[in-house]
Amino acid sequence: MAKFSAIKEHVYNKIASGEWPENHPVSSENALASQFKVSRMTARRALQELADEGIVIRTKGSGTFVAPIKSQTSFMAIRNIADEIRSRQHDYASQVHVLRRQVASELIAEMLNIAAGDEVYLSVISHFENDLPVQVEERYVNPKLAPDYLKQDYHSLTPHEYLCEVQPLTEASHQIEAVAPSQQLCQWLHLSKPEPCLRIHRRTWSAKGVVTYAVLTHPGSRFSLGGHLQF
């Protein structure tokens, strides 16, 4: 692992563990440089990247401090589909189609920021609302960040829940598109004939890197995404 990454992790752990609360001062560039026996430029890079990620705030002449927690005004919160369905007073169920390790294609490797040909974990799960599938979740997981992913029972716990436990998420990006479903997807979604589907591609990061890439496909007739913004 690169030296600056090790320093980032060290600082992040102090914050995540609660040892350094909000606004607590972070070790200075010089302090980290001598502690880790690196040049100041290397220590600096670690702190700079944490600042870019919003984890830390730097003030010229004053120092580096743990950033206050952001207000929850996100347009699209990362929601757990099981909770979502249960909050509508409906029954939730799931069906696991695939749960195995496989070799990363080029696309998947790029999404997870690993090398093509490396091993990844893959799960494909249908999520049911009142006995009708509303989502097929195709999920690729970085084995280094969740080594026990394949050992979980995804009937009692969603992959999202498990991953949040072992790798608290710090960042996510989404891509939303409309697609025609494959024949396989039609089966999994219990669609007798193809209909437009809403597809969400979601990459999620923890402090240690990209944890997972998920492709979530929903039948257009059974799903829509909502959001609210205030200015």
Q: Which residues bind its own copies (CB under 8 A)?
A: 52-54, 70, 72, 74-76, 78, 169-180, 195-199, 218, 220, 223-231
| Residue from 10, 14, 58, 201 binding DNA (CB under 7 A) | 58
Strand duo 119-129 + 92-103: pairing:
antiparallel
Name the one residue in this structure whose structure tokens are 């939303």: 176
Residue from 21, 61, 226, 227 in contact with DNA (CB under 7 A)? 61
Check residue 60 for interaction with DNA (CB under 7 A). yes
User: Which entry of its own copies, DNA, none binds 58, CB below 5 to 8 A by partner kind?
Assistant: DNA
Smallest CA-to-CA distance from 174 within 151, 198, 202, 149 is with 202
Element (H, E) at 215: strand 209-219
Question: Which of 98, 208, 72 minimizes the C-alpha distance to 142?
Answer: 208
Residue 202 CB, shortest distance to its own copies, in Å, is: 10
Query: Residue 176 phi/psi, 5° resolution?
Result: -120, 135
Contacts for 6 with CB less than 8 Å, ≥ 6 apart = 36
| Residue from the set 12, 20, 29, 66 that interacts with DNA by CB under 7 A | 29
What span, in angstroms and rounded, lies between the C-alpha atoms of 28 and 91? 52
In angstroms, what is the minimal distance from the CB of 8 to its own copies? 15
Q: Which of 11, 26, 50, 104 binds DNA (CB under 7 A)?
A: 26
Residue 158 tokens read as 């969603």
DSSP-derived secondary structure letter, 70: P
Residue 81 Cβ, how far from its own copies at the closest point, in Å? 16
Nearer to its own copies, 21 or 226 (CB): 226
Q: Which residues bind DNA (CB under 7 A)?
A: 2-4, 26, 28-31, 37-42, 44-45, 47-48, 58-64
